[in-house]
């Protein structure tokens, strides 16, 4: 009989790479909350190695501050905005990280040789974070995570397995085309992507276009930004919508409508028990979540033929991707059935 020694000691590192922030954490393998140490920095886009350099610097700092030696690290889990090749650890065609090709595995392995590095699309990482840290027993096997942030991403656990696809990008949901005849161009190059309407970047760009077109009144928004359009982010648009700004209300309505379309498609494809939402757009969750819940509780058929999922908000907000990266490293070294 072969005895498998259960790994109970040692540390794992988690990294979450987003369009705006890079977050890094270390924790004991049991993911005990008390031992979770974190740091973050803004995502530098000076050259294609800026991101890997930032990650190594922060991780080394975290190890030093907590008196942990490099060789006590059992694994590093890296969740990145995709698409990325999870074997080679190269991000490609990304819309928000500044470069079309971003190598991660090689430069990080140079700094952390002999430590296994596991790459995962950040949306898929997020759903693992939900799975480990907050999903209820009766929804764990069929749960989806959607991040609405600089971009839109997702992760899907279906029948108790994380869906990965040929390179690990099985749930690039943000680039699902929700409006094929649209003239709204997404950062990825396609037209009518969900992300082009409902992400922070999408809301900002659509608002700038709307102001330029001048068809809808945007006086209240212009007042908030003191006529300086460089100040526009999703935050200001939602703020203006609350005050009744006509253009901003239209942009927010579209953001929510196309999110309903996206959620309906996800539920048709994966028949999920629950969908958790997270990401920076949830700063305005009070305008977004109740409308989604009402739609899928009262009139789901307009958007999905399957029985509707429960719509929930992750309680870990923008930390769920980081927690997912840690979970992925843990599940990989423990060979959890979710990821194999
Ligand atoms: Zn796109």
Residue 67, domain CATH: 3.30.420.40
Confirm whether 6 is domain-assigned.
no
Same domain, 145 and 99: no
Per-residue pLDDT of the chain (340 residues; tens, 9 = 90+): 454 444 557 999 999 998 889 999 999 999 999 999 999 999 988 899 999 999 999 999 999 999 999 999 999 999 998 788 999 999 998 777 778 899 999 999 999 999 999 999 999 999 999 999 999 999 999 999 999 998 899 999 999 999 999 888 898 899 999 999 998 899 888 999 999 999 999 999 999 999 999 999 999 999 999 999 999 999 999 999 999 999 999 999 999 999 999 999 999 999 999 999 999 999 999 999 999 999 999 999 999 999 999 999 999 988 999 999 999 999 999 999 999 8
* Cα of 37 from ligand 1 centre, angstroms: 34
Same domain, 121 and 192: no
- Domain ranges, residue 212: 137-313
Same domain, 97 and 156: no
Same domain, 186 and 79: no
Closest CA to 199 of 123, 143, 144: 123
Q: What is the pLDDT of residue 79?
A: 96
Kindly list the protein residues that place their beta carbon closer than 5 angstroms to ligand 1, a single-atom ion.
175, 186, 188, 190, 193
* Cα of 81 from ligand 1 centre, angstroms: 13
Same domain, 168 and 260: yes
Confirm if 51 and 114 have CB atoms less than 8 A apart. no
* Cα of 175 from ligand 1 centre, angstroms: 4
Contacts (Cβ under 8 Å, ≥6 apart) of 247:
207, 210, 211, 216, 217, 218, 221, 240
Confirm whether 151 is domain-assigned.
yes
* Cα of 152 from ligand 1 centre, angstroms: 9
* Cα of 293 from ligand 1 centre, angstroms: 25
Same domain, 205 and 221: yes
- Residue 121 pairs in a beta bridge with 80
* Cα of 205 from ligand 1 centre, angstroms: 13
Confirm whether 222 is domain-assigned.
yes
Listed in order, strand segments (DSSP E) in 180-273 are none
This prediction's pTM? 0.90
Q: What is the pLDDT of residue 2?
A: 52
* Cα of 165 from ligand 1 centre, angstroms: 18
Same domain, 98 and 155: no
Same domain, 267 and 143: yes
Instruction: Please compute Rg for the chain using Cα positions.
Output: 20
Closest CA to 149 of 110, 202, 106: 202
Same domain, 150 and 105: no
Same domain, 235 and 265: yes
Confirm whether 339 is domain-assigned.
no
Domains held by the chain: number: 2
Cα gap 222→103, rounded to integer Å: 40
* Cα of 196 from ligand 1 centre, angstroms: 7
Cα gap 176→179, rounded to integer Å: 9
Confirm whether 282 is domain-assigned.
yes
* Cα of 202 from ligand 1 centre, angstroms: 10
Confirm whether 3 is domain-assigned.
no
Closest CA to 237 of 196, 282, 206: 206
- Residue 237 pairs in a beta bridge with none
* Cα of 336 from ligand 1 centre, angstroms: 32
Cα gap 226→20, rounded to integer Å: 24
* Cα of 317 from ligand 1 centre, angstroms: 23
* Cα of 318 from ligand 1 centre, angstroms: 22
Confirm whether 2 is domain-assigned.
no
Confirm if 72 and 18 have CB atoms less than 8 A apart. no
- Residue 40 pairs in a beta bridge with 23
Confirm whether 217 is domain-assigned.
yes
Same domain, 201 and 297: yes
Same domain, 117 and 143: no
């Amino acid at each position: 009989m072969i005895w498998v020694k259960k790994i109970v000691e040692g540390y794992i590192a988690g990294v979450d790479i987003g369009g705006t922030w890079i977050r890094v954490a270390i924790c004991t393998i049991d993911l005990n909350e008390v031992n979770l140490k974190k740091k973050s920095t803004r995502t530098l886009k000076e050259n294609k190695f800026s991101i890997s350099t930032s990650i190594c610097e922060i991780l080394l700092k975290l190890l030093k501050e907590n008196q942990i030696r490099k060789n006590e690290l059992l694994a590093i889990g890296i969740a990145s905005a995709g698409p990325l090749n999870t074997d080679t650890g190269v991000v490609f065609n990304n819309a928000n990280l500044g470069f079309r090709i971003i190598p991660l595995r090689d430069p990080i392995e140079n700094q952390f040789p002999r430590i296994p590095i596991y790459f995962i699309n950040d949306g898929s990482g997020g759903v693992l974070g939900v799975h480990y840290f907050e999903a209820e027993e009766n929804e764990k096997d069929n749960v989806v995570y959607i991040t609405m942030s600089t971009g839109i991403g997702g992760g899907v656990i279906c029948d108790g397995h994380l869906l990965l696809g040929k390179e690990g990008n099985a749930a690039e949901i943000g680039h699902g085309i929700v409006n094929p005849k649209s003239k709204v161009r997404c950062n990825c190059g396609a037209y009518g992507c969900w992300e082009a309407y409902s992400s922070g970047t999408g809301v900002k760009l659509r608002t700038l276009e709307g102001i330029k077109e001048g068809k809808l009144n945007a006086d209240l928004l212009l007042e908030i930004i003191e006529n300086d359009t460089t100040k526009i982010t999703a935050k200001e648009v939602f703020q203006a919508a609350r005050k009744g700004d006509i253009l901003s209300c239209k942009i927010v309505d579209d953001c929510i409508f196309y999110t309903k379309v996206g959620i309906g498609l996800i539920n048709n494809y994966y028949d999920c028990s629950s969908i958790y939402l997270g990401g920076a757009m949830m700063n305005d969750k009070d305008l977004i979540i109740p409308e989604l819940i009402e739609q899928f509780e009262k009139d789901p058929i307009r958007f999905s033929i399957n029985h509707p999922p429960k719509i929930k908000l992750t309680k870990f907000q923008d930390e769920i991707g980081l927690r997912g990266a840690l979970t992925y490293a843990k599940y990989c070294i423990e060979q959890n059935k979710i990821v194999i």
